[in-house]
Amino acid sequence: MKAIITVIGKDKVGILAAIANECMKANINILDVSQTIVDGFFTMTMSTDFDNANKAIADFAEYMENFGKERNLVIRVMHQDIFDSMHKV
């Protein structure tokens, strides 16, 4: 199963590394990453593969939301089908 992780927050060193590290600990494979910094704000969309994850997507999503709050970031994890449905015109 594929999932999308989105991150938004004030830019600082190590955001991508921190998210990638949490994916690694949960055995989640990162397939693709798109990131940009606009006027000091970091935004990232990460495509991931949960097929071998050691956490359910709902548990990981809750964990990452709290992980983000501790770092003044908004982090969302959602099934790719939901993400795709939200972004269809």
Q: What is the pLDDT of residue 88?
A: 61
Q: What is the pLDDT of residue 41?
A: 97
- The predicted model scores a pTM of 0.88
* 19-44: pLDDT as tens digits: 999 999 999 999 999 999 999 999 99
Q: What is the pLDDT of residue 3?
A: 94
Q: What is the pLDDT of residue 87?
A: 61
C-alpha to C-alpha distance for 2 and 85, rounded to whole angstroms: 14
Percent of the chain beyond pLDDT 70?
A: 88
83 CA to centre of own chain = 12
C-alpha to C-alpha distance for 89 and 40, rounded to whole angstroms: 29
Name the burial class of residue 28, with classes exposed (0-12), middle (13-18) and buried (19+) by CB atoms within 10 angstroms of its CB. buried
